[in-house]
Chains A and B, each alone.
Chain A
């Protein structure tokens, strides 16, 4: 069966009459201009991602198959050698363990403290705005300046041990002893950024409808039940957002480690990014450093996808 198709909107050519040449429209239509405007609006972002995210990402994969001696100016293909070195690297396991301890410690402490502060500061009490400002202010302080101040406070003869001595406690050498060094780095980072998550939680708490809470109270819900059964589910999208931001941020920590502990004592606070920078920029192993960067990229990707998938189980969307 023959099928005849026609192009809608186009005149059929008459038999024996040459078709007129299509008219070229010099002025773009409204829709075309609209599309152009849209593309131009997104162009800077697309260009930025292309140049500063996708291109370096591609180069990292390329470099990971090479050994690059910067000083000698040699760039040699080594195939999977860097990946084999990664698997056999005896330092990788302690580095990943330190990374996990830091990330879990940071995420748990940060989110718990931020939520606690948000609940406490979500009251209509005089002077509450001042408290909110105080807790948020570290967020806008320079990271390195904040960390340097803490490094002085945490010295053996620093301010924290000075305060402890006033109450008769001989404090530890916070940054030089294995168990306290990691805890110190986590605490410094928690106090630095807890204000940001606190503000996000505060906004979420203020968005919880009063009528739902009142209805629950009328049904006899206690304060605890109200919080866990009503408030937490309603702010769960914000919990998801803050947990993703905090986890990704925790995996990228560098300056705090560099200033406070330089990865020590031993390698107890050497997290993955710090190890990567050491390998690439201090030891000039750019190929192996790139392989570590791919590992970090994979970990961040997997964790983010896992969180996104798990959201269906615990994140409550009103709509």
Chain B
């Protein structure tokens, strides 16, 4: 019996050792010269990934010590939490795309490697060509650049001219020429389209009554912001924000110019007259209706623009952080930045011109790029961001739920929103 116990113990120990060794992961040894890099991204577009792969292959030809570069697509909805879970689990990526709303958390934590030295080392890189406004979000406390803003994409308004004509309304370009290109005019046209065709008026794409920060593309027209510039004071209850939300509430529940909660309408399937989204969505247009691209309608404060940003950072805790930074310098050099520009508006001043963007964006006309895209980037304000953005975002979402009912107390709900997030802003 004793021998059985010994044998059993040995067997169990062997199985446990095997299991533990298999669970402990097989990361490349630090002594190994074979470097494998992984970059997490939120696109699964085959054309995007093919372009990334071609740039990576060119880099590996010049750097034989790097044997593999993987682009790891993660679902957009859970992107940030998936990356942080990977970091917590000890399998952090070497490089990661970072959304602008998570930027303060990543930048302030010291999780990202400063890039200035690597990017400035190559005189042909053109470090000074990076736009100051594009990089503003990505500097740490010491002023070092810790992520490259590879995409600075303006929010614009797409219009379905066929639907407008069906409702007997002027086209979007005619509205603009008639000085009706403002939110009141868009809401009136949207209500008329809904009345005449049963289709939706204007849609703030991806808002869905949950992703509230997309509403910034509207409230910026009223000069409103969710918090003060230094991020310490909630301004949801400011008069201009109340006015902006009164406009939105009226559009959803009274004028019926915007689909109400729980109702979906896809502009690119021809289900709405207008939609606010980023220019990259132009790839969804299939030519089934006449469309136009215009800047965001004017609000009470006049013209304005909002940009969405995404950065690429190098994880400072990564085993091959220096190699990853070197690859990032190659990935974003002037030649590759021009290639990436066909999908992601670049932060390089020299490439923000009609020639570059028109050559790589066949869906858009040179006039649309000159009149909408470039000015949108130049005057664009980045979407709201703050440290602890996920927790603040959840508090705001659950507070604003009380606003999306027909008889909502708008000033009261916005005051409650401030009460909910004040402890997190301090």
A residues near B (Cβ < 8 Å) are 25, 28-29, 31-33, 35-36, 39-40, 43-44, 46-47, 50-51, 68-73, 154-158, 173-177, 262-267, 278, 281-284, 286
Are A43 and B109 in contact, with the CB atoms below 8 A?
A: no
Instruction: Give every chain A residue within 8 A of B12 (Cβ-Cβ).
Output: 39, 43, 46-47
Instruction: Give every chain A residue within 8 A of B81 (Cβ-Cβ).
Output: 281-282
Q: A71-B109, A156-B261 are in contact. Are A264 and B4 (CB under 8 A)?
A: no
Are A155 and B84 in contact, with the CB atoms below 8 A?
A: no
Q: A70-B84, A70-B87 are in contact. Are A283 and B391 (CB under 8 A)?
A: yes
Instruction: Give every chain B residue within 8 A of A40 (Cβ-Cβ).
Output: 8, 11
How far, in whole Å, are A213 and B335 apart by their CA atoms in the complex? Answer: 85
Are B15 and A28 in contact, with the CB atoms below 8 A?
A: no
For A157, the closest partner residue in chain B by CB is B263
Instruction: Confirm or deny: B388 has a beta carbon within 8 angstroms of a beta carbon on chain A.
Output: yes
Closest Cβ–Cβ distance, residue B141 to chain A (whole Å): 13
Are B85 and A281 in contact, with the CB atoms below 8 A?
A: yes
Instruction: Give every chain B residue within 8 A of A72 (Cβ-Cβ).
Output: 109-111
Instruction: Give every chain A residue within 8 A of B4 (Cβ-Cβ).
Output: 28, 31-33, 35-36, 39
For A152, the closest partner residue in chain B by CB is B264
Instruction: Give every chain B residue within 8 A of A51 (Cβ-Cβ).
Output: 19-20, 23
Instruction: Confirm or deny: B88 has a beta carbon within 8 angstroms of a beta carbon on chain A.
Output: yes
Closest Cβ–Cβ distance, residue B88 to chain A (whole Å): 5
How far, in whole Å, are A134 and B264 apart by their CA atoms in the complex? Answer: 30
Closest Cβ–Cβ distance, residue A175 to chain B (whole Å): 6
Instruction: Give every chain B residue within 8 A of A44 (Cβ-Cβ).
Output: 15
Closest Cβ–Cβ distance, residue B421 to chain A (whole Å): 13
Which of B109, B398, B399 touches A69 (beta carbons < 8 Å)? B109
Residues 231 to 276 of chain B near chain A (Cβ within 8 Å)? 260-264
Instruction: Give every chain A residue within 8 A of B110 (Cβ-Cβ).
Output: 71-73
Q: A40-B11, A176-B404 are in contact. List 7 more A-B contacts (CB 8 A).
A: A31-B4, A35-B4, A43-B11, A156-B261, A175-B262, A176-B209, A282-B391
Which of B88, B209, B263 touches A286 (beta carbons < 8 Å)? B88
Which 6 pairs from chain A and chain B are nearest by CB? A32-B4, A156-B262, A71-B109, A265-B401, A39-B8, A71-B111
For B88, the closest partner residue in chain A by CB is A70
How far, in whole Å, are A267 and B12 apart by their CA atoms in the complex? Answer: 47
Residues 375 to 421 of chain B near chain A (Cβ within 8 Å)? 388, 390-391, 394, 397-399, 401-402, 404-405
Are A47 and B15 in contact, with the CB atoms below 8 A?
A: yes
Closest Cβ–Cβ distance, residue A277 to chain B (whole Å): 9
Instruction: Confirm or deny: B1 has a beta carbon within 8 angstroms of a beta carbon on chain A.
Output: yes
Are B1 and A282 in contact, with the CB atoms below 8 A?
A: no
Instruction: Confirm or deny: B58 has a beta carbon within 8 angstroms of a beta carbon on chain A.
Output: no
Q: List 21 A-B contacts (CB under 8 A).
A: A28-B4, A32-B1, A36-B4, A36-B8, A68-B88, A70-B87, A70-B88, A71-B105, A71-B106, A71-B109, A73-B317, A154-B262, A157-B262, A176-B209, A177-B405, A265-B404, A266-B401, A281-B84, A282-B81, A282-B391, A284-B84
Instruction: Give every chain A residue within 8 A of B404 (Cβ-Cβ).
Output: 176, 265
- Chain B at the A interface: mostly helix, strand, loop or mixed? helix
Closest Cβ–Cβ distance, residue B209 to chain A (whole Å): 7
Instruction: Confirm or deny: B7 has a beta carbon within 8 angstroms of a beta carbon on chain A.
Output: yes
Closest Cβ–Cβ distance, residue B424 to chain A (whole Å): 10
Q: A31-B4, A281-B84 are in contact. Are A173 and B390 (CB under 8 A)?
A: no
Are A39 and B11 in contact, with the CB atoms below 8 A?
A: yes
How far, in whole Å, are A157 and B16 apart by their CA atoms in the complex? Answer: 55
Instruction: Give every chain B residue within 8 A of A262 (Cβ-Cβ).
Output: 210, 397
Instruction: Give every chain B residue within 8 A of A29 (Cβ-Cβ).
Output: 1
Instruction: Confirm or deny: B3 has a beta carbon within 8 angstroms of a beta carbon on chain A.
Output: yes
Closest Cβ–Cβ distance, residue A284 to chain B (whole Å): 6
For B85, the closest partner residue in chain A by CB is A281
Instruction: Give every chain A residue within 8 A of B111 (Cβ-Cβ).
Output: 71-73
Instruction: Give every chain A residue within 8 A of B7 (Cβ-Cβ).
Output: 28, 32, 36
Interface string of B1-43 (1 = CB under 8 A from A): 1011101100110011001100100000000000000000000
How far, in whole Å, are A175 and B401 apart by their CA atoms in the complex? Answer: 12
Instruction: Give every chain B residue within 8 A of A173 (Cβ-Cβ).
Output: 260-262
How far, in whole Å, are A73 and B23 apart by their CA atoms in the complex? Answer: 22
Are B209 and A31 in contact, with the CB atoms below 8 A?
A: no
For A181, the closest partner residue in chain B by CB is B401
Closest Cβ–Cβ distance, residue A260 to chain B (whole Å): 11
How far, in whole Å, are A44 and B209 apart by their CA atoms in the complex? Answer: 48
Instruction: Give every chain A residue within 8 A of B23 (Cβ-Cβ).
Output: 51
Instruction: Give every chain A residue within 8 A of B399 (Cβ-Cβ).
Output: 266
Which of B209, B260, B398, B405 touches A263 (beta carbons < 8 Å)? B398
Instruction: Give every chain B residue within 8 A of A39 (Cβ-Cβ).
Output: 4, 8, 11-12
Which of A36, A68, A71, A73 touches B11 (beta carbons < 8 Å)? A36
Instruction: Give every chain A residue within 8 A of B85 (Cβ-Cβ).
Output: 281
Closest Cβ–Cβ distance, residue A268 to chain B (whole Å): 9
Instruction: Give every chain A residue within 8 A of B264 (Cβ-Cβ).
Output: 155, 157
Are B87 and A71 in contact, with the CB atoms below 8 A?
A: yes
Instruction: Give every chain B residue within 8 A of A46 (Cβ-Cβ).
Output: 12
For B5, the closest partner residue in chain A by CB is A35
Q: Which of A71, A154, A262 has the most CB atoms of chain B within a 10 A radius of its CB?
A: A71
Q: A73-B111, A282-B391 are in contact. Are A267 and B84 (CB under 8 A)?
A: no
Are B397 and A176 in contact, with the CB atoms below 8 A?
A: no
Closest Cβ–Cβ distance, residue A29 to chain B (whole Å): 8
How far, in whole Å, are A206 and B134 apart by their CA atoms in the complex? Answer: 71
Instruction: Give every chain A residue within 8 A of B317 (Cβ-Cβ).
Output: 73
For A51, the closest partner residue in chain B by CB is B19
